[in-house]
Amino acid sequence: MKLATFNINGIKARGEALAAWLAEAAPDVVCLQEIKSVDEAFPREGLEAIGYRVETHGQKGFNGVAILSKLPLRDLRRGLPGDDGDEQARWIEAVVEGPRPLRICGLYLPNGNPAPGPKFDYKLAWMARMEARVRELLASEEPFVCLGDYNVIPQAEDAKKPEAWVTDALFLPESRAAFHRLVNLGLTDAVRARMPGPGVYTFWDYQAVAWERNNGIRIDHVLLSPQAADRLQEVGIDKAVRGKEKPSDHVPVWVRLAD
């Protein structure tokens, strides 16, 4: 089973780029972030025509997450538990019915800037809620994967110029500590399990010729439960997508798990 995460930065702007990548990469399941569309306006017909079931948790103008799956889905959940007043569309969850069922948690974690401030407080509170959900899933002992745009640079080697991020919410100690708490529950950072060392990035800003200078950061992550990590076969980052026409500022990250 090939699983991928891709922050597309707007389905309307990036629909053609998404379709081209799907045709080339052929993932079985994809979690999308920043679809920037309400559910009823999401252009699902073209994706359904090429064999994907489409489930969205949308929001007008910003945020929004989705799952595209060639396999049946069950137990679909929209929204991260723990705050009934949170109206931001950042979490979608379902069980993929493959030969061995696998729970997929697609997420778009808050940016948190400017920090300190209410947005940073919301980011940390959201991460605490995610930690609580992960603890529940670990207790169930079912295999699961949490994949998406975490908006966290875990360590200095995950940025070309870490000194440029020291006051940014993505790299503040509190954000990194919350990320490491998740991993330390027993999750596996799939990319780092197979791609150690510097120079591994998933995001390049549109400004300051960041792509041309390879001035990137790694903020799109795939975290595997112990039962899912046992099935890990392959990991990839489709970096070339960033150099194509009208790209997102993120690129797809994918893993292949044994069926």
Could you give the residue numbers annotated as active site? Answer: 108, 149
The candidate with the shortest Cα–Cα distance to 88, out of 118, 116, 54, is 118
The candidate with the shortest Cα–Cα distance to 250, out of 224, 212, 213, 211, is 211
CA geometry: angle 34, 135, 83, nearest 5 deg: 55
Q: Which two tokens stand for residue 123?
A: 């980011």
Asked if the peptide bond before residue 196 counts as cis, ω within 30 degrees of 0, the response is no
Question: What Rg do the C-alpha atoms of the chain give, in angstroms?
Answer: 17
CB 29 within 8 A of CB 71: yes
Which run of H or of E encompasses 69? strand 65-69
CA geometry: angle 134, 90, 231, nearest 5 deg: 45
3-state secondary structure of 158: helix
